[in-house]
Structure 1
Amino acid sequence: MPTKQRKAPKRTNPLLRAPIRIGALDAPAVIGELRDIHEKAEDLDIGAMPADDEVYGALLYAEAHVGALKETSEAVRRSAAIKRVQLWEYLREQAEIHQVKAIEAARAAKAEWTQLAPALAVSGKSGAYQKAKRLKALTLVDESLNGRVLRRTPEAVLAAEGRIAAREAEERRAKKAAQRRHEALMPVAQHLIDHRDGLPDAGNVADWLDEVAAVLPHCETPTQMVSLSTYVGAAVRELRKTESRQSRPIATTDGARLAYAAAAGLFPS
């Protein structure tokens, strides 16, 4: 029976299994542990070891002075070596992230891919472009992947960038729409407060209008904007309930009638 060949995954598909990464690490603390190991081993040159926050230089020192640990136990030497492995992996991950930022800065400054090729250690503009996109895969956070990792191909990165740009555009549109609604609501809410004497205070109308009056003078944050909309909407609902229970007009003045009509128009039943 012929063996069924596995299809290669699409270059835009995410990886199903996330690679293990060092991620966040208190690198100076690990360097401090390495320093402690060398001090206890009576490393005669320990005074020349760079500071704990100079991770690269401290690692080069530890590598060059590994002989100072020859009289320590195998467990101590093993621990020191593993710490160095961990720190080099951490630096590699950080280097990729910062290299992406440098590439983006160069492109923003109108650098051509041919100019970036030597710096990226590739032979031409195509290689520079593809390497840059592969590196970019490390920094993109695509919520649509549900925790899966983006495939490190130019096609996958471009697809992810498109999805992220579309979401960001939608968020901007939603934010602008919310701002427009808020700008329309502010004068309506103010008119309700200005003419509340001409409105009934039956049921919870007065309570909701009190809430509107409290938040209206300092309505700036998104939470306050949502609260104002909630309070005005609740006041309108209570006014409608009162209106349905009586046969005469609910507002007793022209100003109150206009204010109620404007609020009701923003919150259709």
Structure 2
Amino acid sequence: MPRTRKKGPELTRTRRPAQRLSGIDPHALSARLYELHNEASKRPDARDAAQEALSRWPGDAAFYNVLLWAQQHAEHLVGQEAQEASVLRVQLSQLLRERLDPVQLRAVEDARAAGATWERLAPALAVDSVTGAFNKARRLAVTVRGLAEDRRSPEAARALEARIAAEALERQRREEAEDARYPLVQAAARRVLAAYERSELCTQPEDYWITELAEVIDDRTNPLERANLALILRNATAEIYRNTRHTDREAAATDEAGQALEAAASLTHPPRTS
């Protein structure tokens, strides 16, 4: 009787999202590359070509030219220096690629807004079909605007588009709600500013938000600006209450000022829990 083989656990391959470099200064990478080549050129056994190459250094900020220069003169480095310089080139290349993605996406979006067809964009995107151009632009959008777990795939592109649409709808609803209560917020802001002008609030000369409130209260012309007034008023009242923790003063010096402050806080802050 033939023996049956036991099946082991099914192995599945998890598709991990692409990672992006962060917190790395490309100028520092470029400067370190120069430093490595400069040190190598000063050794007693350094070739004249290594010293001459430094005179053609493109500059720390010209990242693409730095990469071409470092690649051309890579043979001047040996051992650990050559290894470190190569890794720096890899990092700088990756950073340059990541910086170019949003630039290319914006260019595609500007081209579409200007009336360029996908037929015209296809060769510019190095693809040979309208579908290829459209899908490449969608994958680029996922790379630039997607979450860390998103993949460059049609499914991720559709999910991203749905998420952006939902966020836009939520933003519109929030702006409409803020716009509806704008008269109340503006009236509360005027009461706070009146108390501020009477020097009845705990403010400091360097306070930012109360000054910002005074400057913008009369120029709210669209729903987004009117919605932002509530945020500015919230920050201004928080700034006043925060000042009381660093001084021996009360938030408001009069009952009228205190009522204005409480009215503003009730409009712009979530209810306080005990």
Superposition TM-score tier, normalisation by shorter sequence? 0.5 to 0.7
SS of match in other structure, 2:55: helix
Query: Which residue matches 2:59?
Result: 51
d(CA) in 2 for partners of 1:182, 1:60: 56
Gaps of 5+ in 1: 9-14, 143-147, 192-209, 236-269
> Is contact 2:101–2:144 with CA below 8 Å preserved after alignment?
no
Shift of 1:181: 1.4
Shift of 1:76: 1.1
The one of 131, 135, 142 equivalent to 1:137 is 142
* Sequence identity (%): 31
The one of 98, 104, 107 equivalent to 1:102 is 107
Amino acid at match of 1:160: L
Gaps of 5+ in 2: 1-5, 42-49, 192-199, 202-209, 218-228, 238-258, 267-274
Query: Which residue matches 1:124?
Result: 129
Residues 102-130 of structure 1, C-alpha deviations (whole Å, 9 max, x = no match): 11111111111110111111111000001
Structure 1 residues 62 and 225: alpha-carbon distance in aligned structure 2, compared to 1, 3 A threshold? closer
Amino acid at match of 1:231: E
Structure 1 residues 131 and 190: alpha-carbon distance in aligned structure 2, compared to 1, 3 A threshold? closer
Q: TM-score, normalised by structure 1?
A: 0.62
> Is contact 1:137–1:150 with CA below 8 Å preserved after alignment?
yes
d(CA) in 2 for partners of 1:61, 1:167: 45
The number of aligned residues is 199
Describe how 1:208-247 pairs up with structure 2 within 5 A: 218=214, 220=217, 221-223=229-231, 225=233, 231-232=262-263
> Is contact 1:32–1:52 with CA below 8 Å preserved after alignment?
yes
Query: Which residue matches 2:37?
Result: 38
- Bigger CA radius of gyration: 1
d(CA) in 2 for partners of 1:88, 1:157: 25
SS of match in other structure, 1:137: helix
SS of match in other structure, 2:22: coil
Structure 1 residues 80 and 188: alpha-carbon distance in aligned structure 2, compared to 1, 3 A threshold? closer
> Is contact 1:182–1:225 with CA below 8 Å preserved after alignment?
no
Structure 1 residues 58 and 180: alpha-carbon distance in aligned structure 2, compared to 1, 3 A threshold? same
